[in-house]
């Protein structure tokens, strides 16, 4: 039997990687409108990053469902959201060279303190 914390970790990691793939895959998509929905759908089906995002989203959703069944929702939901937020910001700054202001890093520090507090 897989430990619940491993299931939660898989959910978080697959969700974070999925968000990074969504960003990477969405760079080349044309602007969305009703007139070009079919070409956009065709492009999505040819885009390995977006297909990976769908697959990782499914993994994340499935493992999230399992995690929620093993933990108290009042604990696991804020933990999941906060850790996902921190990791997406961190990896976005590395892979997409997004500028993260010192004030935003300070906010992330408060989120980390919050994670620490809810795990006690």
pLDDT one digit per residue (tens) for the chain, 120 residues: 678 889 999 999 999 999 999 999 987 777 777 788 888 888 888 889 999 999 999 999 999 999 999 888 988 898 899 999 999 999 999 999 999 999 999 999 999 998 888 877
DSSP SS3 for 43: helix
- In this predicted structure, what is the pLDDT of residue 119? 76
Write out the H or E segment, with its range, that includes residue 57: helix 48-70
* Mean pLDDT across the chain: 90
DSSP SS3 for 2: coil
Tokens of 103: 């004030």
């Amino acid at each position: 039997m897989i430990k619940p914390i491993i299931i939660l970790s898989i959910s978080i990691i697959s969700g974070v990687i999925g968000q990074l793939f969504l960003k990477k895959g969405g760079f080349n998509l044309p602007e969305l409108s009703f007139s070009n929905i079919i070409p956009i759908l065709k492009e999505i089906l040819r885009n390995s990053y977006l297909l990976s995002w769908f697959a990782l989203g499914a993994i994340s959703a499935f493992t999230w469902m399992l995690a929620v069944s093993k933990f108290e929702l009042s604990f696991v939901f804020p933990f999941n959201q906060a850790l996902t937020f921190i990791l997406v910001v961190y990896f976005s700054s590395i892979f997409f060279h997004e500028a993260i202001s010192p004030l935003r890093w300070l906010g992330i520090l408060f989120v980390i303190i919050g994670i620490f507090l809810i795990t006690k």
